[in-house]
Structure 1
Amino acid sequence: MLASLIRHTAYPLVLGGSAAAILLFVERAAIPCPGMAAVTLIGIAAVALLERWQPYQRDWLRDHTDGLTDAIHLVVNLGLLWATASLLHVLRDTLPALALWPARWPIWSQVLLAGLIVDAGLYAMHRLSHRVEWLWRLHAPHHSAERLYWMNGERRHPLSAVCLAGPGIAIAVALGAPPLAISAWLSLLAVHLAFQHANLDYTVGPLRHVLGVAEIHRWHHKREYENAQVNFGEFWMLWDKLFGSFHDRPNGIAAGEVGLRDRSFPRDYAGQLLWPFRPRSGLREGEPADV
């Protein structure tokens, strides 16, 4: 019974609780506050603990010589997230913006609208990152993981993180979105990304057609690159549904079926940071770069 409870309630309880706490801070604060960061860290920690209790693949609990590298990715990219939030606040009166934002809407609906805009940008840039060679080379470290677990959501080259999120954030800012609304969404997104890549046996049922959760996103990490051009959505699956990249099958991804074909891909953080700038070693069939 406990296993079933975790399987069906882990995501709504943890993400819903994180969303409620973040909205409380947004309603009471004028600037991005440490409380929002604390909620994000607690939410991510909850996913990590639930994995140990009820893993999707037991083999993925074992360190694949990736723990330290992923921890550095996590610290760097969460730091980048909160630096972005702080910078948006500092520059809020100097950035050009159109007076199109529905500032009288309830704050929760403004957060959702900002999130929808940011998520559309993430989808577009994510899909481009699988088609444009130099973007793929920045994105490849994310796909080099040979297991999926809570830290993979932040396993990104920092330049890839900027390329993925930058356009959507810029559009939201240009439309007049308040920095707090964008910061709140980014904080919640970090918890969702931990769930999206989690080695946790959980489900959201039919809502997997709406939300980019692990049972859908794991298909995107298949080692066979040609079969992994699906489910690009970060939070919402709306964009995959609209543009024909949604994929759902009853059987899931198993251990040994994720990662890159190139087993020589660097495992250390410095190597992954420098890999995109190495000279090409050749283009393989069906792939935009050395994978």
Structure 2
Amino acid sequence: MFALLSILLSKRGKNAFIGMSVSTIAIILGGSGIEVKEFEQSIFSISLDWMLLEILVLSLIFIPIELFLPKRSEQTKFHPEWKTDLIYLFKAQLLVQYTAVAVKLPAELFFSDIGMGQVHIFVSHLPFLMQLFLAMFVADLFQYLIHRLFHANSFLWRFHAVHHSIKYVDWISGSRLHVVDIFVTRSFSYIPLYVLGFSNDVFYVYVVIVAIQAVTAHANTRIPFGPLKYLLVTPQYHHWHHSKDKKIYNKNFAIHFPFIDKIFGTYYLPEESWPEEMGLENEKFPKGYFRQFIYPFHRDPKSFEPSNPSTR
């Protein structure tokens, strides 16, 4: 899988081709039948096979949707930054899993003695679907708060600006998030779910839902969602969050429920219109994964400083 990606992403895929050839020969010679002894699993295990399966399923769903029902038909799949976005896609799926596991122990360690016993009992007795809805609301509320902070704080904005540098918004580019952005945002979403005592089944279903929802919100599709667009975050709703229009900036922070934006006065959804342009005002933002990764840590007076949305 990774060798195939290397061939696609690299102009010189000779090494990847050799790797694929060696692997194929090893399988033919019976390498796949070699017995591997059991080993102790780490508490921070990451499911690579689940990540690949998830990306495969998302590809089978959203590639046809964007191919046959695009909102912006002039936006090609192989736009100038698609290779960078593909790297972000794989990295984001791994980090979402890692964060879900990594924050569990600290959450239990630091919040186990705050008297949440009765809350745990109440939550555990709720029907599964009610638990799931409540978990989505709680996670979205905390995600909303940290999302606004990323916009309001000039230092945090340097990390979040990576996400807003997207000019070609589609299902893959929605994963363009700095490592710090993903870890902090997901931690703020996951820790309350652990603290409030939601079941493991609810938690893992939520992790899947938020992955699908995040991809859907960025998809380049004109699918009509009807009245659902007032209940759930849709592509039209979230694309306005990426608008270049100064008047619309600092709107639509929620990722699940638009009513959270209504509560805080940041709701914006014209009936049928979509933003004309998306991305940052200045076009000099660094290109490529590595440059975008180091950008928030490296202050060069001559480099581009993305305008903080709180000052717009």
Q: Which TM-score tier does this pair reach, normalised by the shorter chain?
A: 0.7 to 0.9
8 A Cα contact 1:212 1:233, kept in partner: yes
Q: Which has the higher contact order (CA 8 A, sep 6+)?
A: 1
Cα offset, 1:44, TM superposition: 4.9
Give me the CA root mean square deviation.
2.9
Q: Which runs of 5+ in 2 are unaligned?
A: 1-44
For the Cα contact (< 8 Å) 1:55–1:61, is it kept in 2?
Answer: no
Determine the structure 1 residue equivalent to 2:269.
248
**CA separation of 1:177 and 1:284: change in aligned 2, threshold 3 A:** closer
Deviation at 1:122, TM superposition (A): 0.8
**Partner of residue 27, structure 2:** none
**Is 1:197 the equivalent of 2:218?**
yes
Q: Please identify, of 217-226 and 40-49, the stretch whose mean Cα deviation from structure 2 is larger.
A: 40-49
Change in CA separation of 1:153 and 1:247 when aligned onto 2, cut-off 3 Å: same
Matches within 5 A, 1:20-169: 38=53, 41-87=56-102, 96-97=111-112, 98-99=116-117, 100-101=119-120, 102-169=123-190
The one-letter code of the counterpart of 1:265 is F
2:284 corresponds to 1:260 = no
**CA-to-partner distance for each residue in 1:23-73, whole Å, 9 max, x for gaps?**
xxxxxxxx9988975457414530122101111102222433211111111
Offset at residue 137 of structure 1 (A): 0.8
Q: Percent identity?
A: 24
Provide the C-alpha distance between the structure 2 equivalents of 1:139 and 1:103, rounded to a whole number of angstroms.
35
Change (3 A) 1:288 1:240: closer
Q: Which residue of 1 aligns with 2:200?
A: 179
Deviations 1:113-171 (A, max 9, x none): 22211111111111111111111111001110111111122111111112222123112
- Rg larger for: 2
Q: CA deviation at 1:182?
A: 2.0
1:64–1:146 CA contact under 8 A, matched in 2: no
What amino acid is aligned across from residue 74 of structure 1 in structure 2? L
2:99·2:183 contact (CA, 8 Å) conserved in 1? no
Distance change in 2, residues 1:270/1:52 (3 Å): same
Pick which of 31-40 and 77-86 moved more.
Answer: 31-40
Matches of 1:123 and 1:141, distance apart in 2: 18
Aligned residues: 258
CA deviation digits over 1:198-233, x for unaligned, max 9? 111112112212211111111111123452211111
Which residue identity lines up with residue 87 of structure 2 in the other structure? I
Residue 189 (structure 1) shift: 1.2
Residues 252 and 266, structure 2, Cα contact 8 Å, conserved in 1: yes
Deviates more, 1:66-75 or 1:76-85: 76-85
